[in-house]
Amino acid sequence: MINSLALLSASCGVLLFFHRRVLTYLRYFQQEEYNGQRFLAWFWRYRAFDRRGSVICLLTLLVTGGLTVIAPTSLTLLGWLLGAGALAWIAWREDDPRKTGKVTLKITQRARRIWYTASGLFLGVVLVMTILWWLTVSNGYLPFYWLIVLLLIQCSPFLLILANRILAPYERGIQQSFRAEACTVLAKVDPTVIGITGSYGKTSTKTILGALLDTVAPTFWSPGSINTEMGLVREIRERLKTGYRFAIIEMGAYGIGSIRKLCNLTPPQVGVITYVGVMHLERFGSQEAIYQAKSELAQAVPESGILVCNGDNPGARRMAAEYPKARTLLYGLNPEDAQLDCWMSDIAITVAGTQFVIHWDGQAYPGTTPLLGQPMLSNLLAAFTTACALGAHPTALIAATRNLSPPAHRLELRQQYGALVIDDSYNSNPVGFAEALAILGQLPGRRKLLITPGMIELGELQESENRRLATLAATVCDLVLVVGETNAKAFAEGLQAGGAGADRAQFFPHRESARAYLEKTVAEGDVILWENDLPDIYEDQPSF
């Protein structure tokens, strides 16, 4: 009786634990597009083994094992119950991946099917193991059941892959019918399809182009960064309605052939190449492979179509030369470059955003936009060039450009505490940080303030890069507020090296204290740069 209770409690605990934990894994499985290989690669890269659950299992094994030898069985049962309770407690405390994190888990029908199948499999295995154990194992060895539990917990990510394999034929059938339905919808609505790809800037370019083309005719674009086949199939089925004249499709290159697949789904008449870079080099193997993967879009655009390429990027430029269309257009931020069809000059940063002059078709169009930073201006040029090529009036586009809003927390200008705030808190990398500092330097203001925890996830470059940027910040800022311990030392050294003494640098243990200090010291006319401030910056490192 005691044994059965013990086993029952343990199996309930592990089932609860699994049901929540598997969701956390499912989020990454989904981000890797349910690709088992890539999911496993992610698993090894982050060493995403379970730790908490396993520790509980081992502890319980020791405790119950010891108790079995020296104490009455009822006390042993308490050990079992505590172990099971601890597992349940961890499950209860586990962050909900559907609600937290930069990229949340979307419970689609497919995700739910995988989740339930995996849970079903797990339930089956636990049942079989428990009954076997119950029937065969003698009292003294009963606590070793916790080793089994540990093993099962460690197997949970693989169960997801297994569940996905089992469901594969069924999923293929469903996907085929969904895909066919999306094709029918697209053929009926028959919009001009604009495909966008690139290592950087495709989501921003899509959003800006959407806002600009919407001034010409109703325009469809997928929200966020949906850029996979099934994601697009879903968007098209649910949201593409009669009346849309343009459809902007963001195309993600996940390997050779993935863009070709998207181009078969939504054959583009216009292609936009924002950047051919080295992002995801490990996935492609070589830079040439990255180029090949992205050039599938240029190949898919018909001879009579339009190809718009970033003239500042050699890879995109090469694509324009290799796959010329009826209209092949180059855009760029370098006005000296005579070969550009659309370029920007006279860039000045003001409190209202960026002032610029766009040159297109022999005319100069001065304008203003709330968007800040070279990368965003490059995306704006890509969108402007494409919209012009599709027949929009440049003056109307300039007007729409003024109404654009930057993506949240990415070089967003706003008024706060009577001061001007540049909110760049979304994330930070050395290039972006330097860009933000340059903007801070150019904006007119009484004092320039920087508040930042520094950059993270830079591996062995972490200290040197933070030191370097701190030195750069010292040349721009009147006061630097450094948050947290992580980069405090590097910043102290870097600021010192840049000539910012103790009077121009303040260190705070956490955000709240820095914020409180800022609210006290800030005065009208100050300019504040929030760099990399959101609390979820540490989230990309999963903990299990």
Nearer to another protein, 281 or 399 (CB): 399
Residue 182 sits in the site that holds another protein (CB under 8 A)? no
Nearer to another protein, 327 or 402 (CB): 402
- H or E stretch including 360? strand 353-360
101 in helix, strand or coil? coil
Nearer to another protein, 219 or 487 (CB): 219
Residues 68-97 touching another protein, rule: CB under 8 A, are none
Nearer to another protein, 112 or 402 (CB): 402
Stretch that binds another protein, among 376-384, 392-400, 421-429, 468-476 (CB under 8 A): 392-400
Nearer to another protein, 51 or 402 (CB): 402
Nearer to another protein, 192 or 199 (CB): 192
Instruction: Report which DSSP code applies to 87.
Output: H
- How far from 405 is each of 83, 329, 411, 413, 518, CA to CA, in Å? 52, 26, 10, 10, 26
468 CB-near residues (< 8 Å, 6+ apart): 430, 494
Q: C-beta of 217: minimal distance to another protein in Å? A: 8
Nearer to another protein, 31 or 368 (CB): 368
Residues 403-432 touching another protein, rule: CB under 8 A, are 403
- What is the x/- site pattern for another protein, positions 456-475, by CB under 8 A? --------------------
Q: C-beta of 386: minimal distance to another protein in Å? A: 17
500 in helix, strand or coil? coil
| Contact (Cβ atoms closer than 8 angstroms) between residue 3 and residue 140 | no
Q: C-beta of 215: minimal distance to another protein in Å? A: 6
Residues 215-274 touching another protein, rule: CB under 8 A, are 215-216
Q: C-beta of 399: minimal distance to another protein in Å? A: 4
Residue 299 sits in the site that holds another protein (CB under 8 A)? no
Q: Which one among 69, 396, 431, 502 touches another protein, defined by CB under 8 A?
A: 396
Query: d(Cα 475, Cα 437) in Å, to the nearest integer?
Result: 9
Q: Which one among 186, 208, 398, 527 touches another protein, defined by CB under 8 A?
A: 398
Nearer to another protein, 54 or 215 (CB): 215
Q: C-beta of 390: minimal distance to another protein in Å? A: 13
Which residues sit opposite 342 in a β-bridge?
A: 331, 360
Q: C-beta of 358: minimal distance to another protein in Å? A: 13
- How far from 473 is each of 382, 468, 485, 514, CA to CA, in Å? 31, 9, 18, 17
Q: Which one among 109, 139, 395, 475 touches another protein, defined by CB under 8 A?
A: 395
Q: C-beta of 392: minimal distance to another protein in Å? A: 9
Q: Which one among 400, 420, 474, 518 touches another protein, defined by CB under 8 A?
A: 400
Residues 3-62 touching another protein, rule: CB under 8 A, are none
Nearer to another protein, 105 or 398 (CB): 398
Nearer to another protein, 214 or 463 (CB): 214
Q: Which one among 402, 414, 446, 510 touches another protein, defined by CB under 8 A?
A: 402
Other CB atoms within 10 A of residue 433 CB:
26
122 CB-near residues (< 8 Å, 6+ apart): 15, 18, 22, 152, 156, 159
Residues 214, 219, 225, CA angle at the centre, nearest 5°? 105
| Contact (Cβ atoms closer than 8 angstroms) between residue 189 and residue 241 | yes
Give which of 138, 132, 259 is closest to 195, Cα–Cα: 259
What's the one-letter identity of residue 157?
Answer: P
Stretch that binds another protein, among 56-64, 297-305, 393-401, 430-438 (CB under 8 A): 393-401
Residue 393 sits in the site that holds another protein (CB under 8 A)? yes
- Enumerate helices (H) and strands (E) in the chain, giving the number of each: 18, 15
What's the one-letter identity of residue 193?
Answer: V
Q: What is the dihedral of CA 467, 479, 425, 366, to 10 degrees?
A: -110
Pairing, β 479-483 against β 505-508: parallel
Stretch that binds another protein, among 85-93, 190-198, 400-408, 526-534 (CB under 8 A): 400-408
Q: C-beta of 344: minimal distance to another protein in Å? A: 16
Q: C-beta of 403: minimal distance to another protein in Å? A: 5
Query: d(Cα 205, Cα 384) in Å, to the nearest integer?
Result: 10
Nearer to another protein, 366 or 499 (CB): 366
515 CB-near residues (< 8 Å, 6+ apart): 451
Q: C-beta of 363: minimal distance to another protein in Å? A: 11
Query: d(Cα 64, Cα 143) in Å, to the nearest integer?
Result: 6
- What is the x/- site pattern for another protein, positions 350-389, by CB under 8 A? ----------------xxx---------------------
Locate 97 and state its tokens. Answer: 């991946």
Query: d(Cα 207, Cα 85) in Å, to the nearest integer?
Result: 48
Query: d(Cα 368, Cα 386) in Å, to the nearest integer?
Result: 19
Judged by the rule CB under 8 A, the positions of this chain that interact with another protein are 214-216, 366-368, 393, 395-396, 398-400, 402-403
